[in-house]
């Protein structure tokens, strides 16, 4: 695929490329030079920011009893044999 560099150095990535990589407005890309090649890759930080807040985790409250019963109905002390 060929793209043209615009006046301010911008390029438009073809829609097929954007769709295949899940790129949308605001996606961070890492730009690297490899000799005469330009390498664009999705930023790991950006990938993490997209999932941030999508999963609920148990909150741990300092000083509170945060022990949950095991799924098998056994010990509630986290598996300790003390």
Q: State residue 22's pLDDT score.
A: 84
HEC string of the chain equals CCCCCCCCCCCCCCHHHHHHHCCCCCCCEEEEEECCEEEEEECHHHHHHHHCCCCCCCCCCCCCCCCCCCCCCCCCCCCCCC
Measured CA to CA, the distance from residue 80 to residue 39 in angstroms comes to: 51
Q: State residue 49's pLDDT score.
A: 61
pTM beyond 0.75: no
pLDDT in tens, 18-39: 998 888 888 889 999 999 999 9
Measured CA to CA, the distance from residue 45 to residue 29 in angstroms comes to: 10
- The better pLDDT of the pair 24, 60 is held by 24
């Amino acid at each position: 695929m060929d793209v043209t560099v615009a006046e301010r150095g911008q390029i438009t990535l073809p829609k097929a490329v954007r769709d295949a990589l899940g790129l949308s407005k605001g996606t961070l890309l890492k730009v690297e030079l490899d000799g005469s090649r330009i390498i664009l890759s999705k930023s790991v930080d950006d990938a993490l920011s997209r999932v941030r807040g999508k999963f609920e985790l148990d909150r741990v409250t300092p000083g509170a009893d945060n022990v949950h019963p095991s799924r098998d109905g056994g010990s509630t002390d986290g598996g300790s044999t003390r």
